[in-house]
Amino acid sequence: MNQTKSKLIGDFFGYVDGLHVNHTYTTMAQLFLIKQMIKTDKWRIVSDDDMVLKAATKKVFSNEIQDEKLHYFVNDFDKTREDAYRELIESNKYLKKWVEDSGLEELSVYDLAVEYMERKISTHKFYETKIAPDGTPYSIHKSNKIEHPISLDDRGCRYMTLLLIPRNAFLQEIR
């Protein structure tokens, strides 16, 4: 009976006897090893918008998240080279105009980008605060991204969101 049942399950569900590990666990193991190898007080993680990476990071770095020692940036870009190059030209024009309007001509491109992001982040809402039925406030991540001021010639504009980061800690550390 067991042999028949196993054969039926194997045929029906495509089950293969043995150890099964999905990509989320593999990613968690890799992040855990990186965390063990690199000894640091502060973490900055940059990834694409991948649910597996975000979930694994939340699990492996849960203490760092709770202690506000993790900055997690999510980049999003999917473009052809031609579109990316057009966006590069447009973003450079926009940044130059923003610099003129802001009176910041003497800063380097890096410092301009930092200043631009600092100003955007200080007013941008990445999270929405809700109130639970018991009166406890909690935050929900909103899906509203910020366009990064420096475009790449092969990838175009990057759109970023910040996960798991208190705003004040980021603004203090970005400089």
- Phi and psi at residue 94, to the nearest 5°: -65, -45
Alpha helices by DSSP H, listed for 67-134, are: 81-102, 109-123
The answer on pLDDT for 172 being more than 50 is no
Domain span holding position 83: 77-174
Is 11 a member of any domain? no
Bridge partners for 45 per DSSP: 72
Is 87 a member of any domain? yes
Which pLDDT value is given to residue 77? 65
Is 64 a member of any domain? no
- CB count within 10 Å of CB 16 equals 8
Which pLDDT value is given to residue 15? 62
User: Please, what is the average pLDDT of the chain?
Assistant: 77
Which pTM value belongs to this model?
Answer: 0.54
Q: How many CA atoms lie within 13 A of 1 on its CB side?
A: 0
Is 142 a member of any domain? yes
Lowest mean pLDDT among 39-48, 55-64, 149-158: 149-158
Which pLDDT value is given to residue 70? 84
Q: What is the percentage of the chain residues whose pLDDT exceeds 90?
A: 10
Q: Which of 48, 149, 148, 29 shows the shortest CA–CA distance to 94?
A: 149
- Phi and psi at residue 21, to the nearest 5°: -130, 125
Q: Read off the pLDDT of residues 10-32 as tens digits, 9 standing for 90 and up.
A: 455 666 677 677 888 899 999 99
Cα(166)–Cα(10) distance, integer angstroms: 49
Q: Read off the pLDDT of residues 69-122 as tens digits, 9 standing for 90 and up.
A: 887 877 766 677 888 888 888 888 888 888 888 887 777 877 887 888 888 877
Is 137 a member of any domain? yes
Is 65 a member of any domain? no
Strands 70-76 and 137-141: unpaired
Query: What is the number of structural domains in the chain?
Result: 1
Is 52 a member of any domain? no
